[in-house]
Structure 1
Amino acid sequence: MQQMLMTIVLLGLLSGCAQPQLEQPRANGTYLVIEDGQAWAVLVSDGKRVQEQGRVVDTIRLPSKDARVAASYVIETANCGRVQWLSERSDAADGSTTLMSLHSNSSRSQLSQSGCVIGDGLSRVWTVLDYSS
């Protein structure tokens, strides 16, 4: 009887020590990838990646440190129409930083269509990876 009681107590103690597995962090991010005349708007949310492919319509880079806008990228996609990304300069205590934001030249209804994945990234900060020569 004592052995049975001791086994039950030991099992109770051991089961209290078991911890559930913690969820692993999942990747999140929004990227505009430019390579020559091709462009990809890539959204990664909870580890799942979706992308919208398009073509580069216009790219402007402003080298002046005084300009509020550092660069502008305009791409055209089949599902979202023309979309513009602006890289804005802002001075910080540790140096100059740029924030990339998305601005649509298309109507909001076109960005909210089910085929357009870019509309989900309107409120997010974007990273531009420009591999053009």
Structure 2
Amino acid sequence: MTTYYSEDHEWIAVDGDIGTVGITKYAAEQLGDVVFVEVPEAGASFGKGDDMAVVESVKAASDVYAPVAGEVVEGNGDLADAPETVNEDPEGKGWFCKLKLADAGELSGLMDAAAYKTYCEGL
């Protein structure tokens, strides 16, 4: 499994043609306490960069963008009852959805962990 990162602070962990998507620890820390999450439902399709989920915190509401194009095969329904999971484990149990990749070539436009760390240090 390989994990990629976007400039919008989403991560996607890819295993075969399925990518698990969430927001990064950096994004969760910037948001503060998450109080509501709306994840996409299975069957929804998104293009790269499309709004695919919403996360609301005590500070702000933010869109979560699709890091690559694909079709949702599973949404993380657990987040509806436990949105704080996004703060507690943003790059683990706080995932938003699983996407069947439309074009694995789009992953090349994302950053690896080292590049993402450098990117965040420059913010």
Task: Report the TM-score, using the length of structure 2 for normalisation.
Answer: 0.28
Structure with higher helix content: 2
Question: Quick one: higher RCO (CA 8 Å, sep 6+), 1 or 2?
Answer: 2
